[in-house]
Amino acid sequence: MPKHTLKSILFLLILLLSKPLFAIDSIAETALVMDISTGEILLDKNSDKRTFPSSMTKIMTVLVAFEKIKNGTLSMDQEFLVSKKAWKMGGSKMFIEVDKKIKVSDLLLGIVVQSGNDASIALAEGISGSEDTFAIEMNNLGEKIGLNGSNFVNSSGWPDDNHYTTAKDLALIAKYTVENHPELYQMYALNEFTYNNIRQDNRNPLLLTFDGADGFKTGYTEAAGYGIVGSAEKGGRRLIIVLNGLDSSRSRAQESLRLMDWGFNNFELVNFFNKNDLVFEANTWLGKEEKVNLITLKEIKVSIPKAQLSSANVDVLIEEPIQTPIKKGETIANLQISYADKKIVFPLAAGEDVEQKGFFSRITSALYYIVLGSN
């Protein structure tokens, strides 16, 4: 497809850097760094590999509740009766009491901050009647938001061979939460929560070590190793990191901090175009107007490695002339932003309607085109 180069992004100081800085690996078994400001994947290590999510499962458990709060079928003040199953649940606990009622708001904080397995079951049973039925709701929501490698059978992440996910799916859950529930998401930033006179600290190490970190969850089981879903916002960008399969809580803390630092320090968010910006004027075929404006459908911004800014190019990919009639908003070309070996494509749409010429005018224009190469 023909392309028209619009501009190259030239930063002379960057030319001093001879090697790209964006190549990096992780000591985790699976790792993903996503810039949700642009949707780009900055690092991908086995992100589609099936793994056990352990307590990182709970971000999906909480998301099911967030969805119901948003649609009005669940309220923060609603109370659920604690079952014996929830009360007896092992692992990390909120220390709820059997046969006592507890507010949804407290259960959510008991899950988000204290990672309570007991709270997860109590919430699941309160919402769906049983944890098994709640797991069906988790999977249904997963399908809705585009998860491709996950299956949930419980609300806490308790080990089960049929309970699994991927780093990419966990990132999608986190992204959906931030974008669709920004106010409720804020509870993930709390450093501590006290229930039943028992104070517990948030287990997310990034909240203490990285300026701008505000979520999500850690996880650990012997089968899965140590994992974390983390998120931070800084300088107009939000990153999500997912790590799993680390060998200690210390390595989890160090690796999550290292990758968060790397993601923010070695990439620059470049705003190329705003929504509805005019990008290019294309030739039309047999149109009442000889040109049609190509505009952006949304803001176009890309996180580019700082070492690659000097080589970034913007091209319009288009087959000209454009057949008429053309409807305003119709996608008729693509904008390609490229650097190194990476290419990112965005659609371009017609900025206005272009009607086709009348029959005799079309005949005349076609003859001119055959002879002179113009309509």
The catalytic residues are 55, 58, 115
Backbone angles phi, psi at 32, to 5 degrees: -150, 135
Distance in angstroms (rounded) separating the CA atoms of residues 59 and 320: 48
User: CA 235, 260, 39 angle in degrees (round to 5)?
Assistant: 65
Structure tokens at 269: 């968010």
Strand, coil or helix: 261 = helix
Q: Contact at 8 Å (CB) between 119 and 217?
A: no
CB neighbours of residue 263 within 10 Å: 23
Q: Which residues sit opposite 283 in a β-bridge?
A: 291
Angle between helices 58-71 and 104-112 (to 10 degrees): 150
Query: Which stretch of DSSP H or E encloses residue 262?
Result: helix 249-265
Q: Which of 173, 143, 146 is nearest to 57 (CA)?
A: 173
